[in-house]
Amino acid sequence: MFLLGTLVNGLLIIIGSLLGKLLHRIPERIKATVMHGIGLAVIVLGLQMGFKSANFLVVILSLVLGAVIGELIDLEAKLNSLGGWLEKKVGSDANGGSISQGFVTATLIFVIGAMAIIGALDSGIRGDHDVLYTKSIIDGFTALILTTTLGMGVLFSAFPVMIYEGMIALFATQINRFVPEALMDSFILEMTATGGIMIFAIGLNLTGITKIRVANLLPGILITGILVTILYGYERFL
């Protein structure tokens, strides 16, 4: 079952969020320090991923072009609108958190990154769910901690995560027929670096240092795939 890893990932995010709800009575001072700690850890994770690029020009162009596309269609506003719609449907968080903020922040953290794509590809191509199982455990603990500070909006991030990973896994069942392994390896490398910069930006937002519209950078992942494909074709032509 190629969707098993995806389903486990979503389930553990939900379980982590529910457990986090039980710990909501943590004093605000502790919550603030914990959130700063999470932000710093996310920053370091993003930096580690960003340094993996073999061609940083691809990363720069992906971020720049992705930012232009993202701003033109304003993905951040659309994601926030979805979070706001959820908040209207389920009501405001009883613990004082923002449903919208928790949903948007958690969705970006769980979706951006190599593990989501690599894990879903492994599930679809080889039926190997180990990467997604590992990601599920990490996401579950992260959801627990985020819920104590951002509220129950974190729980709803499980659904876009499952849709995103599920679509990749479904696509991956046929991907090895028309995408060369070398091209896929190059894409994963540069996508990891590009996603790492976005995760770094999320970390800055979590610490309150700045407010970057990270969702508007998401088209950069698609641009990475296009640029890597062009470079691969150019190198093969030579």
CA distance 92 to 101: 11
Residue 95 has pLDDT above 60, yes or no: no
Average pLDDT over residues 79-103: 72
Domain range for 36 is 4-237
CB contact at 8 A, 210 and 37: no
Range among 50-54, 66-70, 188-192 with highest mean pLDDT value: 66-70
Give the DSSP H/E element, type plus range, for residue 200.
helix 181-207
What is the tens place of the pLDDT at every residue in 208-234? 888 888 889 989 989 999 999 999 988
Place of tokens 């679809």: 124
Q: How many domains does the structure of the chain reveal? A: 1
pLDDT score recorded for residue 88: 76
Q: What are phi and psi of 178, to 5 degrees?
A: -135, 0
Average pLDDT over residues 42-62: 90
What is the tens place of the pLDDT at every residue in 104-114? 888 888 987 66
pLDDT score recorded for residue 91: 61
Select from 6, 7, 19 the least CA-distant residue to 143: 19
Cα separation of the two ends of the chain: 41
- If you write DSSP's letter for every residue of 38-66 in order, what string do you get? HHHHHHHHHHHHHTT-S-HHHHHHHHHHH
pLDDT score recorded for residue 111: 86
The sign of the torsion formed by the CA atoms of 197, 45, 39, 13 equals positive
